């Protein structure tokens, strides 16, 4: 993607970016095993994206950051009662806030938003937020 954008953009992939004393970590994420159409191909991508998220979180930890925000494309949870590799990693690394997208329109009601195990989960797809930037603090 770096090459495709002629290095005009930077992407979260096995790395992190900083904003003051906060590390911003993340990965694309993927469909969750609780999804009705999750299959063996999805399982391989799900595991790989978990490894990418862990690499990002570990890089921030190794650099001395403890205040971490996570950004994922796909939701890390569909329901607060479910588990996922993404939610487990966010908890293990002490992430305080997770923003995610991918979900639009009326589908927004089908994902978990709120606080779970000390982490605030927030859907930030532009159409679900009235095309208004969201403050993450």
**pLDDT by residue, tens only, the chain of 137 residues:** 788 888 888 888 899 999 999 999 999 999 999 999 999 999 999 999 999 999 999 999 999 999 999 999 999 999 999 999 999 999 999 999 999 999 898 888 889 999 999 999 999 999 998 899 988 87
CA end-to-end span of the chain, whole Å?
29
**Segments of the chain assigned E as strands:** 16-19, 22-27, 67-72, 97-100, 114-116, 119-123
The model's pTM is 0.92
Which of 45, 23, 25 lies closest to 33, judged by CA? 45
Q: Which residue in this structure is represented by tokens 């911003």?
A: 24
pLDDT value of residue 136: 87
pLDDT value of residue 10: 86
Radius of gyration of the chain (CA): 15
Burial of 39 (C-beta count, 10 Å sphere; 0-12/13-18/19+): exposed
CA 79 to chain centre: 15
């Amino acid at each position: 993607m770096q090459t495709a954008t002629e290095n005009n953009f930077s992407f979260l992939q096995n790395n992190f970016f900083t904003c003051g004393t906060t590390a911003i970590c993340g990965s694309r994420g993927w469909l969750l095993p609780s999804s009705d159409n999750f299959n063996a191909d999805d399982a391989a991508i799900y595991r790989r994206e978990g490894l990418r998220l862990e690499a990002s979180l570990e890089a921030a930890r190794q650099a001395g950051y403890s205040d971490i925000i996570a950004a994922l494309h796909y939701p890390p949870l569909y329901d607060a009662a479910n588990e996922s590799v993404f939610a487990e990693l966010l908890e293990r690394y002490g992430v305080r806030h997770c923003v995610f997208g991918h979900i639009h329109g009326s589908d927004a009601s089908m994902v978990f938003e709120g606080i779970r195990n000390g982490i605030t989960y927030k859907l930030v797809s532009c159409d679900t937020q009235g095309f208004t930037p969201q403050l993450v603090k």
